[in-house]
């Protein structure tokens, strides 16, 4: 009874109704076609319906793209620091609604309240970062080789940016992209995961308020759909200059190919298969909590989840014993309960995939240090597993999106690095060591081949200040901090002749007859 009251008050605070329009058009605000298909958002911890959302169809998607294109024509002329103001306002609204939005993420995505609040905090941090960045869209000035010439480069907006996101970070990944895309002068169309539509609607409502208060419209729009026709239209439509896609490698590969075929730009943030190495000098009091958080945080459904653990032979038994003890104490349950460390998987399909992976370990000849399985419902709850596996097994080479950790041993660090890199993906990696030479080797060109390489920090939980993303089958994209803003702009090189002659580059002479 209390739980329902609590659930309703969270939804109410964020203006989520029983039935919600799933299309926010740059011109027409919320639009809802009563004959449109609906999707129902389900709480993965209870399997109860939260609310329904009417979906976008192809025609409405095309209209939203056109309206965003028109809006982008005026937004590009707004000075970048003024563009930052709208993001500042969204950041303020997120601060005000942090608790409610964090709770909604827990309700809809099943993440623990701590992690969900952390996700909203990440949006707030990203807003602060983007506001500052709006005054720092620097270009370089070069010395021209020609007399009385000035040369520089400048960065200009692209136009329309589509952001397609995965369920596991239902709002933060949008913020990484959308805030930077907005301050760089682009209009943003968000196509969130159909598994977490309410989180997207709640955020879009804050964007709506910020746009109304600042007097701009069309900067942020939203398309929720059932299936993938709208997402596919966004990838193949020439009016969309940049597609930022977050999801699995197999879908991302198709998205990347479609966008490339029309010479568009894409940012691909795809699957990870992240490893953590513990060498013989490591401080286990740091390493063990990092492994546990990395492996079971978000129920193993982070792109940066620790999926493979390489242990030096000398401490194999000790680490294994300590992990087994810790795993026995993991509290699994209602993600809104502050004591709980692991919530449910997102849906029945995810649970089925996890159970199939456990079966595959056995088929491959592996065993379990901790054998997990499905827990009694309601809710898509499972218990976590630690398998004793081999790196070359197909199962270990792929990303199982659940709390399954593969354990392997090594004698020399080079062996562990070799195994770590011998997978298709290249997102996040970590070494626990107190040996300077080992740390430097891991971070050198002979070391980790991933986009993220950490020393004495686990694989998951990146800060927004750095560029986030990975290599190989992870897609090569970079988002959030550092100089990633450049991906949302086009670079233009300008040379200005302020003299009375027309000297040519490379000292060419071309005497045009008078």
Residues that bind ligand NAD (CB under 6 A): 164-169, 173, 193-194, 228, 231-232, 235, 246-248, 251, 254-255, 269-272, 303, 399, 401, 427, 470, 474
Does residue 199 carry a catalytic annotation? no
Q: In the bound complex, what is the minimum distance in angstroms from residue 247's beta carbon to ligand NAD?
A: 3
Q: Which residue lies nearer to ligand NAD by CB, 206 or 224? A: 224
Q: Between residues 84 and 192, which has the closer beta carbon with respect to ligand NAD?
A: 192
Are the C-beta atoms of 319 and 409 separated by less than 8 Å? no
> Which residue's CB is nearer to ligand NAD, number 138 or number 349?
349
Q: Report the residue closest to ligand NAD, judged by CB.
A: 247
- In the complex with ligand NAD, the residue whose CB is nearer, 7 or 165, is 165
- Catalytic residue from among 303, 399, 450, 479: 303
Question: Would you give the DSSP letter of residue 505?
Answer: G
The answer to whether the CB of 175 falls within 8 A of the CB of 93 is no
Minimum distance of ligand NAD from residue 229's CB (angstroms): 9
The residues near 361 (Cβ < 8 Å, ≥ 6 apart) are 367, 368, 385, 387, 389, 395, 404
User: What is the Cα–Cα distance from 281 to 127, expressed in whole angstroms?
Assistant: 40
In our burial notation (b when 16+ CB lie closer than 10 A, e otherwise), range 439-452 reads bebbeeeebbbbbb
The CA distance from 244 to 164, in Å, is 6
Nearer to ligand NAD, 45 or 251 (CB): 251
**8 Å CB contact between 16 and 51:** yes
d(CA 7, CA 100): 10
Q: Can you say how many angstroms the Cα of residue 65 is from the centroid of all Cα atoms in its chain? A: 23
Smaller CB distance to ligand NAD: residue 301 or 334? Answer: 301
- The CA angle 265-270-276, to the nearest 5 degrees, is 140
Q: Does 269 qualify as catalytic in the annotation?
A: yes
Cβ–Cβ < 8 Å for 101, 171 = yes
| CB closer to ligand NAD out of 185 and 247 | 247
Looking at residue 55, the DSSP 8-state letter turns out to be: P
Active-site residue (options: 269, 399, 450, 479): 269
Cβ nearer to ligand NAD, comparing 115 with 399: 399
Least separation in angstroms between residue 102's CB and ligand NAD is 18
Query: What whole-number distance in Å separates Cα of residue 354 and Cα of residue 358?
Result: 6
CB of 122 to ligand NAD, least distance (A): 12
CB of 249 to ligand NAD, least distance (A): 7
Q: Cβ of residue 101: shortest distance to ligand NAD, in angstroms? A: 18
- The residue count of the chain comes to 514
Distance of CA 24 to the CA centre of its chain: 22
Residue 176 beta carbon to ligand NAD: minimum distance, rounded to whole angstroms: 9
* Whether the Cβ atoms of residue 454 and residue 429 lie closer than 8 Å to each other: yes
Strands (E), 270-402: 274-278, 306-312, 367-370, 385-388
Other CB atoms within a 10 A radius of the CB of residue 501 amount to 9
- H or E element: which one contains 104? helix 98-109
Least Å distance, CB 57 to ligand NAD, is 15
Query: Which residues in 306-343 are b (16+ Cβ under 10 Å) and which e?
Result: bbbbbbbeebeeebbebbeeebeebebbbbbeeebbbb
Task: Return d(Cα 375, Cα 95) in angstroms, integer.
Answer: 36
Report in angstroms how near the CB of residue 413 gets to ligand NAD at its nearest. 26
Report the C-alpha gap between 73 and 87 in whole angstroms.
19
> Which CB atom, from 61 or from 207, has the smaller least distance to ligand NAD?
61
Catalytic residues: 269, 303
């Amino acid at each position: 009874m209390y739980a329902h009251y609590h659930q309703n008050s969270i939804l109410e605070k964020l203006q989520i109704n029983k039935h919600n329009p799933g299309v926010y058009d740059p011109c027409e605000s919320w639009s809802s076609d009563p004959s449109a298909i609906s999707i129902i958002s389900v709480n993965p911890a209870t399997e109860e319906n939260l609310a329904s959302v009417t979906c976008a169809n192809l025609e409405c998607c095309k209209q939203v793209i056109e309206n965003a294109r028109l809006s982008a024509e005026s937004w590009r002329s707004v000075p970048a620091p003024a563009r930052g103001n709208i993001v500042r306002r969204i950041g303020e609204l997120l601060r005000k609604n942090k608790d409610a939005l964090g709770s909604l993420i827990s309700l809809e995505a099943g993440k623990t309240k701590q992690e969900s609040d952390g996700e909203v905090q990440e949006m707030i941090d990203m807003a602060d970062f983007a506001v500052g960045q709006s005054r720092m869209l620097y270009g370089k000035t070069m010395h021209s080789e020609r007399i009385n010439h000035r040369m520089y480069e400048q960065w200009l907006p692209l136009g329309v940016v589509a952001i397609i996101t995965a369920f596991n970070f239902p709002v933060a990944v949008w913020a990484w992209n959308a805030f930077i895309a907005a301050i760089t002068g682009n209009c943003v169309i968000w196509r969130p995961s159909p598994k977490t539509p309410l989180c997207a609607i709640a955020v879009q409502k804050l964007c709506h308020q910020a746009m109304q208060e600042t007097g701009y419209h069309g900067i942020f729009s939203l398309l929720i759909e059932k299936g993938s026709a709208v997402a596919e239209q966004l990838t193949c439509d020439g009016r969309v200059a940049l597609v930022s896609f977050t999801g699995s490698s197999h879908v991302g590969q198709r998205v990347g190919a479609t966008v490339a075929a029309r010479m568009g730009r894409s940012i691909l943030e795809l699957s990870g298969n992240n490893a953590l190495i513990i060498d013989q000098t490591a401080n286990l009091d740091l390493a063990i909590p990092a492994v546990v958080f990395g492996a079971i945080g978000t129920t193993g459904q982070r792109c940066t989840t620790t999926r493979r653990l390489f242990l030096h032979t000398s401490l194999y038994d000790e680490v294994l014993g300590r992990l087994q003890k810790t795993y026995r104490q993991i509290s699994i349950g209602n993600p809104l309960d502050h004591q709980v460390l692991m919530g449910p998987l997102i849906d029945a399909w995810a649970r089925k995939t996890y159970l199939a992976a456990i079966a595959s370990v056995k088929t491959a000849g592996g065993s379990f240090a901790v054998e997990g399985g499905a827990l009694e419902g309601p809710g898509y709850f499972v218990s976590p597993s630690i398998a004793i596996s081999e790196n070359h097994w197909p199962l270990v080479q792929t990303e199982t999106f659940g709390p399954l950790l593969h354990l392997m041993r090594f004698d020399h660090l080079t062996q562990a690095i070799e195994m770590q890199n011998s997978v298709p993906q290249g997102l996040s990696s970590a070494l626990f060591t107190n040996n300077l030479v080992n740390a430097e080797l891991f971070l050198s060109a002979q070391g980790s081949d991933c986009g993220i390489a950490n020393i004495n920090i686990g694989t998951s939980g990146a800060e927004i200040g750095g560029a986030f993303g990975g290599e190989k089958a992870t897609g090569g994209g970079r988002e959030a901090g550092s100089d990633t803003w450049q991906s949302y702009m086009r670079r233009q090189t300008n040379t200005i002749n302020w003299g009375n002659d027309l000297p040519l580059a490379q000292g060419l002479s071309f005497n045009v007859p008078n």
